[in-house]
C-alpha cells in the first residue's frame, strides 16, 4: 500500500500534466486561428515548449504554493 505522501505527489504531477496539456491545447487553438487552419498538436507543443513553458511553469508553481 502506498503512503499518503506518494499519493499526493502522484496526484500533483497528474494535475500539473493536465494544466500543461490545457495550455498546449490553448496554444494550438490560438496558432490555428491565426493561421486560418489547424496547425497540429506537434507544432503547437514544440512552439509552446520553446517559447512559453518556462514562464508558465514558474507561474504555475507559484500559484500552487499560495
Domain boundaries, the chain: 4-65
Q: What was the pLDDT predicted at 3?
A: 55
Phi and psi, residue 37, nearest 5°: -160, 165
pLDDT per residue over 13-53, tens digit each?
A: 999 999 999 999 999 999 999 999 999 999 999 999 999 99
The pLDDT confidence band at residue 1, using thresholds 50, 70 and 90, is very low
Per-residue exposure over 42-64, b if at least 16 CB sit within 10 Å of its own CB, e if not = eebbebbeeeebeebeeeeeeee
Amino acid at each position: 500500500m502506498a503512503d499518503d505522501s506518494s499519493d499526493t505527489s502522484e496526484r500533483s504531477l497528474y494535475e500539473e500534466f493536465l494544466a500543461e496539456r490545457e495550455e498546449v491545447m490553448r496554444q494550438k487553438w490560438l496558432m490555428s486561428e491565426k493561421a486560418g487552419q489547424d496547425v497540429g498538436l506537434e507544432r503547437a507543443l514544440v512552439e509552446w515548449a520553446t517559447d512559453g513553458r518556462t514562464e508558465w511553469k514558474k507561474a504555475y508553481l507559484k500559484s500552487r504554493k499560495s
